[in-house]
Amino acid sequence: MHSLYLDQFKRSLSIMKKDILIYYLKGPVIIFGVLIPLFLFLAFLTGSKNLSTDFLISGLIGMTMLFTATSVSPVIIPWESQMKTLERLMACPISIHTLIMGDMLASVLFGFFISLVPVLIGLALDVIPIHTLVLVMGIGLASLCFSSLGLLLATPPTNAPSNVMMISSLIKFPLVFISGIFIPLESMPFWGKIIASLSPLTYFTDITRYSLQNVSYYPIWLDFLAIILFTLMFFVLAVKIHKKTLAMRI
């Protein structure tokens, strides 16, 4: 049994390597993951005199993680289906869990390392992390969470990547504006705080604020617990729905 799980994990790593080489190591993908959050950051940096640089950098880290970890994972399976390579993958001796885990691991690595870019931008602007270990742990856990979200966004049984990208954008952009990225949670009305509590990005942003500013709206343990629960929920739902929809793509 142990060797069986190990063999499936090795196959997940092979899928991860394939995804990175084919989908992630592309200029437009990297630029999309970095530039869109950066442009939003610059817009609010120049348009607001009341928000500190460390506050905005923490939001930039959150946005970059969300956009990078969900940039390609929602469209990998539709692309595979459109190119008729999904049939070959499904014919291999791998489980749905193995296939999804491979896609998720590629997204996790991409999200983690690209999210270090805004950290370096912060260092250049003299924003030094106060709790470095908490920040690294938060980035690692958030990369798992948003990668799982990306896989969940890939579940609609369509072979058109554009359809999935449209759904993905309709979810990601509202998350940016309800998660305390540009408006501190303590400044939100009660109903705004309720909505923000439903977003995993809220808790990751709170972790980055704690790491850079030593302040947080929620207890830091609650932030980590919430992201873990969101991760489990996204992954379990993604596996269950993909089991039902993968056959519809062939």
Tell me the per-residue pLDDT of 204-213, one tens digit each, with 9 for 90 and over: 999 999 999 9
Q: Is the pLDDT of residue 28 over 60?
A: no
Average pLDDT of span 98-102: 77
Averaged pLDDT score across all residues of the chain = 80
At residue 203, the pLDDT reads 95
Choose between 234 and 41: higher pLDDT: 234
pLDDT band with cut points at 50, 70 and 90 for residue 143: very high
At residue 155, the pLDDT reads 79
Choose between 205 and 245: higher pLDDT: 205
pLDDT (tens digit, 9 = 90+) per residue, 32-91?
666 777 676 676 666 566 777 788 888 888 888 888 888 777 777 777 766 666 666 666
Q: Which of 72-86, 169-183, 215-229 has the lowest mean pLDDT?
A: 72-86
Number of domains in the chain: 1
Q: How far apart are the first and last CA of the chain?
A: 31
Range of the domain at 66: 2-249
Which of 36-45, 94-103, 127-136, 152-161 has the largest mean confidence? 127-136
Q: How far apart are CA 226 and CA 29, in angstroms?
A: 28
Torsion sign, CA atoms 179, 183, 187, 192: negative
Average pLDDT of span 169-181: 84
- The structure tokens 């969470």 sit at 145
Residue 211: CA count within 13 A, CB half-sphere: 26
pLDDT band with cut points at 50, 70 and 90 for residue 248: low
